[in-house]
Amino acid sequence: MASTTTELAELQRALAQLRSSVGALRARYGDAPAVRRIHNDVERLDIDVAELSSVLPVQRHSTESREDVVIVPDTPYDPALWRDADDEGLGGQAPQ
């Protein structure tokens, strides 16, 4: 949980820097549509981070990730597997 807290704190610091940059953009460009959109995006990110802060992270177990792993051997395939296969875009192969 400590790493999650650290990650959220880093994200909140980055958002604070972004808010400061958007403020500088607003001072330079005024209330231009692009500045308003960027401001809205930062506000939306801020809302999402606050929501994420209130949710407990999902605990991942090392066995869960191993179930999704499929080992593909490096050995060559048996050419008989491809005997009647078409090459995509080239059409069928001539009989031998």
For residue 81, give the DSSP letter: G
pLDDT tens readout for residues 29-64:
999 999 999 999 999 999 999 998 888 777 666 555
Question: Is pTM beyond 0.85 here?
Answer: no
Among residues 64, 65, 63, 55, the alpha carbon closest in space to that of 4 is found at: 55
The first and second tokens of residue 5, run together, are 């807290």
Q: Is 91 helix (H, G, I), strand (E, B) or coil?
A: strand
